[in-house]
Structure 1
Amino acid sequence: MRTISELMSLSGRTALITGAAGHIGAAIAEALAEAGATVALADRRLAALEQCAERIHGMRMRDARVAAFEVDLADEASARALPAQVAAQCGGLDVLVNCAAFVGTTELDGWAVRFERQQSAAWRAAFEVNVTAAFELVQEALPYLKRSGKGSVINVSSLYGVVGPDWRLYEGTAMANPAGYAASKGALAQLTTWLATTLAPHVRVNAMSPGGVWRNQPTAFVERYEQRTPLGRMAIEEDFKGTALFLASDMSSYVTGQNIAVDGGWCAW
């Protein structure tokens, strides 16, 4: 029987994290690198990826194996080419983390505005990145994930893929919660369960659904959010590291088709 440290180890494995230039994606990359994985960081902003790689190396992980890949997940050819590029450069692909997404603060015409002004073009763009790209990446990564024998897919959904927004939190602020964000994140959660039963027993597929993350939002919003949350605070990026490592590693070798809400108990009310 293996020890906990052995079950947690990702030594010898390669993990591809999309959206790695973002807050949550970067935190996940740090966690998997610390567990011994070679991490392939993917995003549209190469300079931001290089900064993420520098942070990983600066976290007492000078020997961490990190590679950066510039990709436009809204472009099918770019998305589909990514897994093969990672496998060729890193020697394989064992873990795929679909973290890239259009979020509430994304600057896109007809997106972060009142429902009456939201546009179909923005809705479709969100689905391309939040759902379709994940579908394409899993398809292209599948041969490598099967070959691994330890293949794991982690889709980063959202609590708003599970429940509707409480609009009282937003009163008096300029913050937005686009319909396309919630719908696409809900679709990603359902895609997770579909893939889990379809790709079993060769590849495990799970999701994690973050709650609200503190990023200097208006004080009124933060206070309302904290009152609405059983654990009494908003999340920080570090809160997602443990769940990501659990789902990527053999700690969860008998877990598939699950959506773990990392939301401070928000969905438990």
Structure 2
Amino acid sequence: MRSISELQSLADFWGIITGGGGHVGQAAAAALMELGANVVLWDRSKAALDIASANLAEYKNQLYTICCDLAIEEDIVKGVEQYREISSGRLNFLINNAAFVGTDNLTGWAVPFEQQSYDTFSKCIDVNLAAPFLLTKLCMPLFEITSTGCRSVVNISSIYGVVGPQMAMYEGTNLGNPAAYATSKAGLMQFTTWLSSVGAPNIRANNIVLGGIYRNQDEAFVEKYIQRVPLRRMATEEDIKGAVIFLCSELSNYMTGQSIVLDGGWTAI
């Protein structure tokens, strides 16, 4: 029987994190590389990737980047080919993390329902749901030829894929909770369930369901938010590390089609 240290080792593992230039993507990458993984960050912004590379410089021999706009099908196809060359075709984990979020400054986005834009709704579905579908599909042959370590898809969802928003929290702020975001995250969770069945036994597929992450939001919003959280705080990027390691390593070898909810208890009450 293997030890815990052997099961959690990611030495020689290879994987992709989309939205890799963001806070959550960088935290996930740092955790995985600390245990030995090679990580390829995907992001549409080269500037964001450059900043991430600088922030993660201690892992420079394990870190690679691909500039890719997940709203463009051809970019995703090219990105997979670039990844194949970088990793020599090995893939142990895919973390679908990139997403339009409720704070994005888009036309017809973080506004009252009657003002929300069909075009923006469609763009959100493309990035938050259609892109993970396409990327996962294109990565399946890479998973299938990877013979060592685990083969894991981790989709980053949200509490708003599970429950409805408390809109009173947003009153008097520039924040919002678009229908497109909730719809895309709920769809991503069901895609995970579907994939866990159809992709088995070649891959495992699980969700990480995130609550709100503190990023210097309006004080009134934060106070209203944490009053609904049993742990009385918003999440930090560090809170995701343990779940990412668990799902991307052999610690979770018999887990698929499930959700790890990191919300401080928001959905429990």
Give TM class, smaller chain. Answer: over 0.9
Query: Equivalent of 1:76, from 61, 73, 78?
Result: 73
1:102 partner letter? F
Could you report, residue by residue, the CA deviation over 1:71-102 in whole angstroms, capped at 9, with x for unpaired residues? Answer: 01000111123223212112222110000000
Q: Give the match for residue 112 of structure 1.
A: 110
- Whether the 8 Å CA contact 1:17–1:39 is kept in 2: the answer is yes
Query: Equivalent of 1:143, from 141, 144, 152?
Result: 141
Question: Gaps spanning 5+ residues in structure 1: where?
Answer: none
Q: Give the match for residue 197 of structure 1.
A: 197
Q: Give the match for residue 241 of structure 1.
A: 241
Shift of 1:243: 0.4
Q: CA RMSD in A?
A: 1.1
Q: Give the match for residue 23 of structure 1.
A: 23
Q: Percent identity?
A: 47
Structure 1 consecutive aligned stretches of length 4 or more whose deviation exceeds 6 Å: none
Shift of 1:140: 0.5
Q: Give the match for residue 41 of structure 1.
A: 41
Alignment of 1:1-269 (within 5 A): 1-58=1-58, 61=59, 64-91=61-88, 92-149=90-147, 150-269=150-269
SS in structure 1 at match of 2:56: helix
SS in structure 1 at match of 2:235: coil
1:132 partner letter? A
SS in structure 1 at match of 2:256: coil
- Whether the 8 Å CA contact 1:53–1:66 is kept in 2: the answer is yes
2:95 partner letter? V
Q: Structure 1 length normalisation: TM-score?
A: 0.96
Shift of 1:35: 1.4
Larger displacement relative to structure 2 (106-115 or 135-144)? 106-115
Could you report, residue by residue, the CA deviation over 1:55-81 in whole angstroms, capped at 9, with x for unpaired residues? Answer: 2223xx45x411110001000111123
**C-alpha distance in structure 2 between counterparts of 1:266 and 1:148, whole Å:** 38
Question: Gaps spanning 5+ residues in structure 2: where?
Answer: none
2:102 partner letter? G
Shift of 1:8: 0.9
- Whether the 8 Å CA contact 1:86–1:93 is kept in 2: the answer is no
SS in structure 1 at match of 2:227: helix
SS in structure 2 at match of 1:157: strand
**C-alpha distance in structure 2 between counterparts of 1:65 and 1:47, whole Å:** 19
SS in structure 2 at match of 1:208: strand
Shift of 1:171: 2.2
